[in-house]
């Protein structure tokens, strides 16, 4: 007898939002675990850049997701992810929290073997053994939500002196790093190389820990087993953060994983790093 194929759908982001795509991908991976299916169909209910989602995320994951173009009205048995949460819960991790609480499944992003091989090439190219991944957001609309590079310069120098290599992921450009040349040469900006987004994200599982300012890319840390410290300005997304976090942690946090609603200061960030060095 032919096995029934699951049909799953949801609304997608209107723009190329890395965090939204990572979260949707993680939701699909959790659905795969819950229903014990390694293959299923998926479609968006609204107009979304499907090619970007497929080319950068779907084709690198470790389950077989077939992207289809369908009308929800024509598929009566589709699992609508938008309905798998209380109506009032509109924050970004609401469905992830629902799956975690209801089915006790940990959200861990896993990529396919091809992605693992490309990640291995990154490790070999830069001889990475003891390293920290950093991502810094540049918000052109809200200056207080942007990374304070003068502070992060000092943090990077502190980490380099501790013997860590620094790997920066993300394509936000900052023109005021102001690091000494001998220090700047020790920082790897992966945006300057032709590696897939997935292979860069996959690098986190080989890192010592993750640091950064809150952005969509930070979801790779939240959906991992690695220690992380993410900083978000106290005045940014206040209502959403109260729903998503509890005592500076996600509801599904693992050991030494912190999402700090705090100002980016050298003292605050260094204090968080010391937790990882214990």
Calpha distance 13→68 (Å, rounded): 17
Strands (DSSP E) found in 73-208: 79-80, 131-135, 165-168, 187-189
pLDDT of residue 233: 80
Q: Report residue 15's pLDDT band, with 50, 70 and 90 as the boundaries.
A: confident
Give 189-214 pLDDT, tens digit per residue: 999 899 999 999 999 999 999 999 98
pLDDT exceeding 90 applies to what percent of the chain? 58
pLDDT band at 29 (very low <50, low <70, confident <90, very high): very high
Please give the C-alpha separations between residue 112 and each of 115, 117, 202, 228, 257, in angstroms, as whole numbers.
5, 9, 10, 23, 25
Q: Which of 67-71, 130-134, 175-179, 272-276 has the lowest mean pLDDT?
A: 175-179
Report the C-alpha gap between 34 and 17 in whole angstroms.
26
User: With 0-12 CB in 10 A as exposed, 13-18 as middle and 19+ as buried, what is 18?
Assistant: buried
Question: Given the structure tokens 């950068």, which residue do they identify?
Answer: 56
Place 235 in a pLDDT band, splitting at 50, 70 and 90. confident
**Other beta carbons less than 10 A from residue 222's beta carbon:** 24
| Cα(203)–Cα(193) distance, integer angstroms | 14
């Amino acid at each position: 007898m032919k096995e029934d194929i699951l049909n799953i759908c949801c609304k997608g982001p209107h723009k190329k939002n890395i965090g939204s795509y990572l979260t949707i991908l993680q939701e699909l991976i959790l659905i795969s675990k819950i229903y014990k299916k390694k293959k299923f169909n998926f479609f968006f209910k609204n107009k979304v850049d499907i090619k970007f989602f497929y080319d950068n995320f779907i084709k690198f994951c470790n389950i077989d997701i077939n992207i289809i173009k369908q009308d929800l009205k024509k598929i009566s048995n589709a699992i609508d992810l938008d309905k798998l949460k209380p109506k009032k819960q509109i924050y970004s991790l609401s469905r992830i929290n629902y799956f975690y609480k209801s089915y006790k499944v940990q959200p861990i992003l896993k990529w396919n073997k091809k992605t693992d091989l490309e990640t291995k090439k990154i490790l070999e190219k830069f001889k990475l053994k003891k390293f920290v991944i950093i991502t810094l957001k540049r918000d052109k609309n809200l200056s207080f939500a942007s990374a304070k590079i003068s502070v992060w310069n000092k943090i990077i120098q502190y980490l380099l002196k501790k013997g860590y290599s620094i790997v920066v992921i993300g394509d936000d450009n900052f023109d005021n790093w102001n690091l000494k040349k001998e220090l700047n040469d020790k920082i790897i900006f992966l945006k300057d190389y032709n590696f897939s987004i997935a292979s860069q994200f996959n690098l986190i599982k080989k890192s010592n820990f993750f640091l950064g300012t809150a952005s969509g890319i930070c979801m790779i840390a939240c959906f991992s087993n690695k220690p992380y410290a993410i900083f978000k300005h106290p005045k940014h997304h206040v209502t959403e953060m109260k729903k998503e976090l509890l005592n500076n942690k996600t509801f599904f946090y693992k050991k030494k994983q912190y999402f700090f609603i705090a100002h980016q200061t050298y003292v605050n960030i260094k204090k968080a790093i010391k937790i990882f060095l214990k």
